[in-house]
């Protein structure tokens, strides 16, 4: 039975979907003013894994991940570039999709853009004003009155007095309380016309937090199963989503028997570089497309899922090389026998171990350990058993989107960081070595093997004289 760590309760809970057999999940997506970095990659890879396992477990999943296409950073970048907002955001949405495709990830079932949901946002803001949880300040902004909602702080686990305004919440004139956050931003005279919409409170644009509340409720309903995102969104963004969504629906007091906005909150851990949190402000971030110039996409996915999704991970080239070495071990096992990805009997002992790991809050490190144990069994097995075990290995790995390529293709591709020998150069030296062996010139044969090994190419002699090779 699947258990999920719920940030709201700070404990693992048995997963019980609202509608049996169906899962509705919303994940906070990207703000599209620049190329995606590996922090974005972790969010995409983690929740791609979650969706794949839910579907492998028999659930029908509706996966929604939004796009923030109106935001202060977007406006500033468009002004700097001297281009319309839509030109900027469309370009980086296309880049995001290209990165996701290169990583081998599924697209969400729905990918709403904030600018297509202005009417829904305004409707929710109007409801919050009606419920006396929002007010229009002197400067024209509409703000949420945080202290009027007794349950505020339930996700972050702090009292109102302990909370701070958060990095995206500016303390400006007109607010009644520094914790209050903006729902509707009044347009500034110098801002372009394509950054403002008419509203009952004057021309302006939505605040960041209201966007996700409006889109998720419109597409998934006012009560849905899973809401995900990075750990940095827990406060204030997700805290504010709960306040807005439940405040619009229930007013100031949600009763204990009223359905919550979301049943399970999931947050993936930070990526660290040299033990510091990766961030643009520190300048220690890496773009997905730049990383993929040096490393295979499957290596990056494997690196991300070797760690538990809630744990922070430290990024480095050395860590990615270690991930590649792990995939080499697994693909080397698969290369020994033709394997098919088949549906597995739930009573298969390997499938049971794998499912137990994944059902324990998506414990991918333990699930990957099962794959390594199974690969060791493939290596030890007699020929008659190898194919069945290799097929089990490939089938289990399929639910994590690993090991679905031709093993030889992966093993001979090597690391993109290697300048190395070309395939043609390697095969030429292999032919020379075979000729030397046939001429019983074993010294030359051994010299060629060592020369290739020194250049990162491992030869594997098979019975009958057939030679296979892989990059180290």
Pseudo-torsion of CA 424, 429, 430, 433, nearest 10°? 160
What share of the chain has pLDDT > 70, as a percent?
Answer: 89
When the pLDDT of each residue in the chain is averaged and rounded to a whole number, the result is 90
Closest to 137 in 3D by CA, of 188, 173, 164, 190:
173
Average pLDDT, integer, range 34-47: 97
pLDDT reading at 168 higher than 60? no
pLDDT band at 13 (very low <50, low <70, confident <90, very high): very high
The whole-angstrom separation of Cα 216 and Cα 199 is 21
Has 212 been labeled as part of a binding site? yes
| pLDDT at residue 248, rounded to an integer | 97
Reported confidence tier of residue 169, pLDDT bands at 50, 70, 90: very low
pLDDT band at 343 (very low <50, low <70, confident <90, very high): confident
3-8+19-272 belongs to which homologous superfamily?
A: HUPs (3.40.50.620)
Query: For the stretch 75-105, what's the b/e string if a residue is b when 16 or more beta carbons lie within 10 angstroms of its beta carbon?
Result: bebbeeeeeebeebbeebbebbeebbeebbb
Look at the domain 294-413 and name its fold.
1.20.120
* 13 contacts 6 by C-beta, under 8 angstroms: yes
- 28 annotated ligand binder: yes
pLDDT digits (tens, 9 = 90+) for 210-256: 999 999 999 999 999 999 999 999 999 999 999 999 999 999 988 98
> Poorest-confidence range of 70-79, 170-179, 295-304, 418-427?
418-427
For tokens 């347009």, the residue is: 187
| Residue boundaries of the structural domains of the chain | 3-8+19-272, 294-413, 423-471
Whether residue 154 is predicted with pLDDT greater than 90 in this model: the reply is: yes
Quick check: 459 and 469 in contact, CB under 8 A? yes
Confidence of residue 458 (pLDDT cuts 50, 70, 90): confident
From 77, 86, 84, select the one nearest 116 (Cα to Cα).
86
| pLDDT (average), residues 377-396 | 93
Angle, in degrees to the nearest 10, between helices 85-103 and 72-81: 110
Give CA–CA dist 371/330, Å, rounded. 8
pLDDT of residue 94: 98
CA distances in angstroms from 209 to 26, 165, 255, 306, listed in the order given: 14, 13, 23, 32
């Amino acid at each position: 039975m699947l258990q999920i760590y719920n940030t709201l309760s700070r404990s693992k809970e048995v997963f019980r979907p609202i509608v049996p057999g169906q899962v509705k999940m919303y994940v906070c997506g990207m703000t599209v003013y620049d190329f995606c970095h590996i922090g974005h990659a972790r969010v995409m890879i983690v929740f791609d894994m979650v969706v794949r396992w839910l579907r492998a477990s028999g659930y029908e999943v509706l996966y929604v991940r939004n796009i923030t296409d109106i935001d202060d950073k977007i406006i500033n970048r468009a002004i700097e570039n001297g281009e319309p907002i839509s030109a900027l955001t469309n370009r980086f949405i296309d880049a995001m999709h290209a990165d996701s495709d290169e990583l081998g990830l599924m697209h969400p079932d729905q990918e709403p853009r904030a600018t297509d949901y202005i009417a829904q946002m305004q409707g929710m803001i109007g409801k919050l004003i009606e419920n006396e949880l929002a007010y229009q300040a002197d400067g024209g902004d509409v703000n949420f009155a945080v202290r009027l909602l007794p349950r505020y702080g339930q996700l972050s686990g702090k009292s109102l007095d302990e909370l701070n305004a958060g990095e995206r919440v500016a303390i400006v004139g007109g607010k009644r309380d520094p914790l209050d956050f903006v729902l509707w931003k009044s347009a500034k005279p110098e801002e372009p016309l394509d950054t403002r919409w008419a509203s009952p409170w004057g021309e302006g644009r939505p605040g960041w937090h209201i966007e996700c509340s409006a889109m998720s409720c419109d597409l998934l309903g006012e009560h849905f199963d899973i809401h995900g995102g990075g750990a940095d969104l827990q406060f204030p963004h997700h805290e504010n989503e709960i306040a807005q969504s439940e405040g619009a629906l229930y007013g100031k007091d949600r009763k204990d028997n009223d359905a919550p906005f979301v049943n399970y909150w999931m947050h993936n851990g930070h990526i660290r570089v040299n033990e510091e949190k990766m961030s643009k402000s520190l300048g220690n971030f890496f773009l997905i497309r730049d990383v993929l110039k040096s490393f295979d996409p499957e290596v990056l996915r494997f690196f991300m899922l070797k760690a538990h999704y809630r744990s922070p991970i430290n990024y480095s080239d050395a860590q990615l090389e270690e991930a590649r070495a792990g995939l080499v071990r697994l693909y080397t096992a698969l290369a020994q026998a033709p394997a098919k990805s088949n549906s597995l009997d739930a009573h298969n002992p390997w499938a049971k171990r794998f499912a137990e790991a994944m059902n324990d809050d998506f414990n991918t490190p333990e699930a990957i350990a099962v794959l390594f144990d199974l690969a060791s069994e493939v290596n030890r097995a007699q020929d008659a058993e190898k194919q069945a075990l290799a097929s089990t290995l490939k089938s289990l790995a399929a639910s994590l989107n690993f090991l679905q390529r031709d093993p030889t293709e992966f093993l001979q591709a090597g690391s993109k960081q290697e300048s190395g020998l070309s395939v043609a150069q390697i095969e030429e030296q292999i032919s020379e070595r075979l000729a030397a062996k046939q001429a019983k010139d074993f010294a030359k044969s051994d010299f060629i093997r060592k020369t290739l090994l020194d250049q990162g190419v491992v030869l594997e002699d098979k019975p009958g004289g057939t030679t296979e090779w892989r990059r180290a």
